[in-house]
């Protein structure tokens, strides 16, 4: 067993070394510089890509003609205020336990956060997997367990499996508060914006590993933008940028797959089947952005018994009435919407690094490691304030 573990670690390190090799990085930067003849604006969709770009300074290595802007690729960041308010209200109910991921605790709601609610007596359980909630439900039969299920398509299969198992085990003291988002409709929303500057996308490899990239092909064709699926290492991203620039310079607009070691055009059919069994498409509010049609998931009829409103009737309406519920951000001076649609960068916000920090965030992008503001604060905050 230990030998298999050691072999796996060695393989992981070999992959990390291969895709972070300095000589290869310089070669790709030179290749991009060689083919680039004009200014191009590229958006990386995922917060994991943003983190790698800023952490390794890839944007500073590229020729000045290449401008990288950041997209809405962080589900924690785009979870709307009303969901946080509702989650707090659910956690505050008698004999109720809210199961959530750790990076949701500091996300600001209208008046407080889940962390503040916990300090005031709300029952919260930090989970590492939604399947943890099944054990919590079985261990606490007299309590109602609510799972705050946040994510893009990449985490939807795990939440679908969790609900399938909950239904199979006939757990009646469990429900799920969905905050799931679909990436392709968000790309359409960005491209349809009259202020849009995006000329090409780096699509998120982990999302495409589940869903494939067929849904991106009509977007590339309709809006005439190259879309390249990439991984999250420096070489992945630079290779994706190279393919984007090559297409732009050649007047092409198609989907390419740089992340072939993990992504296929059709994606993971088993994961897709689980999603289709449990969820169907629905309109979804994106924090800082607004409503986007068919950009989320909701429970199918066979799983409606797991909706919180089924167990706490009227609480959602009461929560929205109390807090307003329609706020796009809890601070009127927060630029999270403009940052997540590529119109601004974090240092352009007057609150950045001063009134807004990871310890006291005004907006969700400052909370999680995949939020653009948090990433800039971690790796560029000193130079931004210089």
Question: Domains along the chain?
Answer: 77-179+288-323 (3.40.50.11740)
Q: Report residues of the chain scoring pLDDT below 50.
A: 5, 8-9, 11-13, 384-386
What is residue 382's predicted lDDT score, i.e. its pLDDT? 57
What is residue 44's predicted lDDT score, i.e. its pLDDT? 97
Beta strand ranges found along the chain (DSSP E): 40-46, 66-73, 96-100, 124-126, 144-151, 174-180, 200-204, 227-230, 255-257, 279-286, 290-299
What is residue 73's predicted lDDT score, i.e. its pLDDT? 85
Report d(CA 243, CA 197) in Å as an integer: 19
What is residue 203's predicted lDDT score, i.e. its pLDDT? 97
From residue 322, alpha-carbon distances to 82, 113, 195, 328, 384 in Å are: 10, 15, 34, 16, 38
Short-list 318, 314, 310, CA closest to 173? 310
User: What three-state secondary structure class fits 240?
Assistant: helix
Report d(CA 44, CA 293) in Å as an integer: 22
What is residue 4's predicted lDDT score, i.e. its pLDDT? 56
Per DSSP, what are the bridge partners of residue 73?
46
* 229, containing H or E segment: strand 227-230
User: What three-state secondary structure class fits 357?
Assistant: coil
What is the greatest pairwise CA distance in the chain?
66
What is residue 16's predicted lDDT score, i.e. its pLDDT? 67
Report d(CA 361, CA 288) in Å as an integer: 14
What is residue 8's predicted lDDT score, i.e. its pLDDT? 47
Contact (Cβ atoms closer than 8 angstroms) between residue 337 and residue 186? no
CA 123 to chain centre: 26
Residues 257-273 have pLDDT tens digits of 999 999 999 999 999 99
What is residue 1's predicted lDDT score, i.e. its pLDDT? 53
Report d(CA 297, CA 368) in Å as an integer: 22
What is residue 324's predicted lDDT score, i.e. its pLDDT? 60
The whole-model pTM stands at 0.91
Short-list 18, 63, 20, 55, CA closest to 39? 63
User: What three-state secondary structure class fits 260?
Assistant: coil
What is residue 328's predicted lDDT score, i.e. its pLDDT? 61
What is residue 385's predicted lDDT score, i.e. its pLDDT? 47
User: What three-state secondary structure class fits 152?
Assistant: coil
Contact (Cβ atoms closer than 8 angstroms) between residue 166 and residue 134? yes
Dihedral over Cα of 267, 159, 71, 15: its sign: negative
What is residue 15's predicted lDDT score, i.e. its pLDDT? 62
- Phi, psi of 294, deg, nearest 5: 55, 30
* 15, containing H or E segment: helix 2-18
């Amino acid at each position: 067993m230990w030998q298999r573990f050691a072999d796996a670690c060695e393989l992981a390190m070999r992959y990390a070394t291969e895709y972070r090799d300095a000589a290869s990085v310089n070669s790709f930067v030179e290749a991009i510089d060689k083919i680039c003849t004009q200014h191009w604006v590229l958006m990386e969709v995922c917060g994991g890509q943003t983190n790698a770009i800023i952490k390794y300074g890839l944007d500073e290595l590229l020729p000045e003609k290449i401008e990288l802007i950041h997209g809405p690729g962080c589900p924690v960041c785009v979870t709307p205020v009303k969901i946080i308010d509702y989650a707090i209200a659910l956690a505050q109910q008698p004999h109720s336990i809210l199961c959530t991921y750790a990076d949701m605790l500091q996300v600001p709601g209208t008046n407080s956060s889940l962390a503040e609610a916990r300090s005031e007596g709300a029952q919260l359980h930090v989970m590492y997997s939604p399947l943890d909630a099944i054990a919590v439900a079985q261990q606490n039969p007299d309590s109602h367990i609510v799972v705050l299920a946040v994510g893009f398509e990449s985490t939807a299969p795990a939440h679908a499996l969790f609900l399938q198992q909950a239904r199979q085990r006939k757990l009646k003291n469990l429900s799920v508060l969905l905050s799931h988002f679909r990436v392709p409709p968000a790309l359409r929303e960005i491209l349809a914006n009259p202020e849009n500057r995006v000329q090409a996308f780096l699509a998120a490899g982990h999302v495409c590993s589940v869903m494939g990239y067929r849904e991106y092909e009509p977007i590339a064709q309709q809006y005439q933008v190259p879309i390249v699926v990439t991984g999250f290492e420096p070489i992945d991203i630079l290779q994706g940028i190279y393919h984007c620039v090559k297409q732009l310079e050649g007047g092409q607009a198609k989907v390419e797959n740089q992340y072939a070691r993990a992504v296929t055009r059709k994606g993971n059919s088993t994961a897709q089947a689980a999603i289709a069994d449990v969820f169907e498409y629905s309109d979804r509010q994106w924090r800082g952005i607004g409503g986007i049609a068919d950009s989320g998931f909701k429970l199918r009829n066979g799983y409606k018994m797991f909706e919180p409103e089924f167990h706490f009737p009227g609480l959602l309406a009461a929560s929205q009435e109390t807090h307003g519920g329609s706020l796009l951000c809890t601070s009127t001076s927060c630029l999270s919407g403009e940052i997540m649609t590529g119109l601004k960068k974090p240092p352009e916000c007057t609150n950045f690094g001063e009134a807004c920090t990871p310890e006291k965030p005004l907006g969700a992008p400052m909370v999680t490691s995949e939020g653009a503001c948090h990433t800039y604060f971690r790796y560029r905050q000193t130079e931004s304030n210089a």
